[in-house]
Amino acid sequence: MSRTPVFPSAEETMKHPSYPSVIWNLEPDRKGKCPVAQGRGGPLNIAWEIHGHGPSKII
């Protein structure tokens, strides 16, 4: 029988004493630049990164 892991809430994680000193060295799954504001003083290249696999991702 397998158990579903229980993760702390975001609030619990942020209150952990080690949280302020954590270094988040995360590598993106995909990254690039997207030109925006064409014709409004641009284009400006906005950098983007996608972190995660499956249906939920962080941009």
How do the pLDDT tens digits run along the chain, 59 residues long? 678 888 899 999 999 999 999 998 889 999 999 999 999 988 999 999 988 888 877 76
Q: Which pLDDT score is estimated for 18?
A: 93
| Residue 50, token pair as written in the block | 């996608």
With respect to residue 13, please indicate whether it lies within any of the assigned structural domains.
Answer: no
Q: Which pLDDT score is estimated for 2?
A: 78
What's the Cα-to-Cα distance from 12 to each of 3, 9, 15, 19, rounded to whole Å? Answer: 21, 5, 5, 10
With respect to residue 5, please indicate whether it lies within any of the assigned structural domains.
Answer: no
With respect to residue 21, please indicate whether it lies within any of the assigned structural domains.
Answer: no
With respect to residue 6, please indicate whether it lies within any of the assigned structural domains.
Answer: no
With respect to residue 44, please indicate whether it lies within any of the assigned structural domains.
Answer: yes
With respect to residue 49, please indicate whether it lies within any of the assigned structural domains.
Answer: yes
Q: Which helix H or strand E contains 51, and what residues bound it? A: none
Domain that residue 42 falls in: 29-54
First-to-final CA distance of the chain: 35
State how many domains the chain has.
Answer: 1
Q: Which pLDDT score is estimated for 47?
A: 94
Q: Which pLDDT score is estimated for 51?
A: 86
pTM: 0.51
Q: What CA–CA distance (Å, rounded) separates 7 from 23?
A: 19
